[in-house]
Amino acid sequence: MVSKLKSADQMQRHFKGMANHHRINILLLLASRNGDTVENLARELQANFKTISQHTRYLAQAGLLRKRYRGRSVLNTLSPYGNAVARFIRDFQRIGDL
């Protein structure tokens, strides 16, 4: 099966989605878990709930994160694209200083 390559516009959406230190930290944290709530992410990242909520919303709009509603709480998990981006970030972290 031949898969169609993403266009530059499609890739821009994903790259913009991760272009913030809070969003990078959220992606890395969620990659190490099976998902988590905004409240737990904010506590773990020592950040404001509203700030992390806004960034998870942006990640979801960029197609990197999925939100699953369970009653009053929302479980945030990485999408397949989010998993790929998190792997890229981890690999990029390991590259020595140029």
Domain ranges of the chain: 12-94
**Which residues, in sequence order, are CB contacts of 87 under 8 Å at separation 6+?**
31
- Angstrom distance (rounded) from CA 85 to CA 9: 16
Cβ–Cβ < 8 Å for 35, 45: no
CATH topology for 12-94 is Arc Repressor Mutant, subunit A (1.10.10)
Rounded to an integer, the average pLDDT of 45-70 is: 95
User: Does the pLDDT at position 13 exceed 70?
Assistant: yes
Return the pLDDT at 97. Answer: 66
Return the pLDDT at 10. Answer: 83
Q: Give this prediction's pTM.
A: 0.87
